[in-house]
Amino acid sequence: MPKINVYLPDELAEAVKDTGIPVSAVCQRALEQAVRRITAIRESTADTFDPEDPTALVSFTPRARSAIKHAQRLAAAENGGVITTRHLLDGVLAEEGNLALRVLDVLEVAPATVRQELARRGGEGDREPGGPAFSTAAANALEMTTTEATGLGHNYIGCEHLLLGMISEPEGTAGRTLRALGAEYRLARRAVNAALAGYVHLRAQTAAAAPGAGAAGAGALAEVVKRELAPLVERLERLERQVGHEPGGTR
């Protein structure tokens, strides 16, 4: 059986040893899921792709599916069905309340500004009849999305992973737009981690103090996330300036 080396940070490696987690089994399971996701993306066509099909977008959350469904509708209306990164990003922006929007807010990238810039930059080309559901750049972004989720140790794919996938993809309209507006990959990834940590912390507090806090809880979450991220963003920007890189560049 072929062997693949897996490299882990020192602290994580020690924790894995201490807990006796079966590394091979866990890695095999994660890789199997990633392969299924990527294969489904590569093999889908505009005529057969259905975001509601559980085999089409394995482990995608309802909000992430909704964002892609929105992208599919835009693509069908504009260029015969091919979904580009521009459509994917528009879908994420249209899905209110998702974590990707909170991350963009922390990074001071306004959705309205993103939409304006997307419209100015245009699309990524049309498809031939019977062609793939996604443009090359969009397919690459979705593949990177699954990689981001796996790399973060998540067993689901949400809008925050879509955002990271689009920022990582070098050629698509969405990635170029986001990076130009200051959504640099390293900051965005740290923002996702901090936002998730803030969410878990606030959810525990809210559940203990006032179940069903609703909109007030969502507003409090945004403030917690901003407060937790502010020192981190400041430190990252200072470090980047020290090494001669202005914040907002590509990775």
pTM score above 0.75: no
CB-CB contact of 120 with 36 (8 Å) = no
Q: Distance between CA atoms of 28 and 6, rounded to whole angstroms?
A: 11
Q: State the virtual CA torsion across 35, 41, 45, 51 in degrees, nearest 10.
A: 120
Per-residue pLDDT of the chain (251 residues; tens, 9 = 90+): 777 776 666 777 787 788 888 878 777 776 776 676 666 666 665 566 777 776 677 788 999 999 999 999 998 888 667 889 999 999 999 998 899 998 898 888 999 999 999 888 776 655 544 556 888 899 889 989 988 988 888 888 999 999 999 999 998 999 999 999 999 898 889 888 877 775 544 444 444 444 454 555 556 555 655 565 566 556 556 545 654 554 444 44
134: helix, strand or coil: strand
CA atoms of 146 and 165, how far apart (whole Å): 8
- The structural domains of the chain, with segments of one domain joined by +, span 10-242
Radius of gyration in angstroms for the set of CA atoms belonging to the chain, rounded to a whole number: 19
Q: Does the domain formed by 10-242 have CATH 1.10.1780.10? A: yes
On the 0-12 / 13-18 / 19+ scale of CB atoms within 10 A, 180 is: middle
* Distance, C-alpha 250 to centroid of its chain: 16
